[in-house]
Amino acid sequence: MRQQIDMRVITGEARGKKLVALDGDEITRPTTDMVKEAIFSIIQFDVPGSQVLDLFAGSGQLGIEAVSRGAEHCVFVENNREALAVVKENVLSCKFTDRARIVNISAEEYLKIAKKDVDIALLDPPYNKGILETVLPQLERIMSDRGIVVCEHERELTLPDSFGKLQKTKSYKYGKIALTVYRVPEIEE
């Protein structure tokens, strides 16, 4: 069941646009405005012109925020059909269909077939299931040379310092939620 909750695009082209989400937290758990502001404060200079992957799309709000702020394109990956319908509705409502690809597949399956050169990956999987530890090693293969991965997760989780070429740069805590950021290090010449 869809419901209009207090969720909106914070800034950019679709600023103020209200988004819908599924009712309850069983399928999706919308990112709070405070955490979303923090994510985009961290990556603000990397977003314009970027290729974005919203790996556990839910309502699509993180990928939509990236496109609103100037990302060139976003792939939304969601394996739940009800949530996928919400992503489609939100992308259409924001008029971003020309800059979006919406895929109904699990994150693990998508990463097996995904092409390289993702600049920004936004991950907000279900908590307490060990999903980040499973997908981060697979994600490393498709990240561009300027790649950034932002993981939203439960506060108690401490992720490893690296996954292949992805190096942890910072962790942040916001109440019960934490963000961990990985980057592909710049190659020294």
What domains, with CATH codes, occur in the chain? 2-183 (3.40.50.150)
Q: Report whether pLDDT(43) > 90.
A: yes
Task: Give the residue among 140, 154, 153, 152 at the shortest CA–CA distance from 183.
Answer: 140
**pTM assigned to the model:** 0.92
pLDDT of residue 188: 56
Q: Report whether pLDDT(153) > 60.
A: yes
Residues 6+ apart with CB under 8 A from 152: 31, 35, 39, 123, 124, 177, 178, 179
Residues 6+ apart with CB under 8 A from 58: 21, 22, 27, 28, 29, 30, 78, 83, 86, 87, 124
Residue 23: band (very low, low, confident or very high) from pLDDT cuts 50, 70, 90: confident
Cα separation, 106 vs 124, in Å, equals 13
Q: Report whether pLDDT(4) > 90.
A: no
